[in-house]
A = this chain, B = another copy of it.
Amino acid sequence: MGVRVLVVEDESRLAAALQRGLTAEGFVVDTASTGPSGLDAARHGGYDAMILDVMLPGLSGYEVVRRLRAEEHWLPVLMLSAKDGEYDQADGLDCGADDYLTKPFSYVVLLARLRALLRRGAPERPTVLTVGDLRLDPARRRVTRADVEVVLTAREYALLDYLIRRPGEVVSKTELLDHVWDGGMRTAPNAVEVYVGYLRRKIGRDRLETVRGAGYRLAT
């Protein structure tokens, strides 16, 4: 007997597509189209995993997971949500979901994540990274300095993210270009200098040391 998956999704076209696709992969799929009916099915249906939309009539996806967890049902939950900004990924994970996908998503990615969940491997949300009074929360994509939020652009954030995982170590421009920028993109090394400059203005000039001829170092 196959692996049983519950799909809770009110958009009937998407629900049907998922059911078809997952069935073709060998899963046994049931669907529900409202919050309450999904919750009920999850409680009693003996499923191995649940794919759960956030926007549902009757009860939101968040609420469904929250109630399940409160009742100590540990069914793996993969949440789906439109990227409308109102809700974000951190909310989804905070309410007890195991993984999270933003619409529009790739079916292949969904499948991969579902399989990972079934293997009991929730994606690890990294801890909040801290260096001095600088704090970076990857799940929320938030950076604070002395508890004051610092607003960073995508690139600035990616740069800080890379550096803060190796505090005190010297990281070369080439390495940064490879990992923070797209390695194949042939961005000029000067871009690194420019963004180091931006970052310094936001997190403090002395926090990011230049090691001439070698790279940059986040002061510990």
Docked pose: A111 CA to B120 CA in angstroms:
8
Task: For the complex formed, measure the closest distance between the CB of A206 and the CB atoms of chain B, giving whole angstroms.
Answer: 15
* A214 located at the interface, meaning its Cβ lies under 8 Å from any Cβ of chain B in the complex: yes
* A29 located at the interface, meaning its Cβ lies under 8 Å from any Cβ of chain B in the complex: no
- Of chain B, the residue at the smallest CB distance from A115 is B124
Contact with B along A149-174 (1 / 0, CB 8 A): 00001100100000000001110000
- Interface-facing stretch out of A37-45, A99-107, A177-185, A189-197: A99-107
* Contact present for A140 and B123 (CB under 8 Å): no
Docked pose: A117 CA to B160 CA in angstroms:
23
Selected from B74, B76, B127, B135, the residue in CB contact (under 8 A) with A99 is B127
Residues in B whose Cβ lies below 8 Å from that of A104: 65-66, 69-70, 95-96
Residues of A70-99 whose CB lies within 8 A of B: 70, 72, 74, 76-77, 83, 89-90, 93-99
With A17-B72, A217-B140: A98-B93 Cβ-Cβ less than 8 Å = no
* Contact present for A76 and B106 (CB under 8 Å): yes
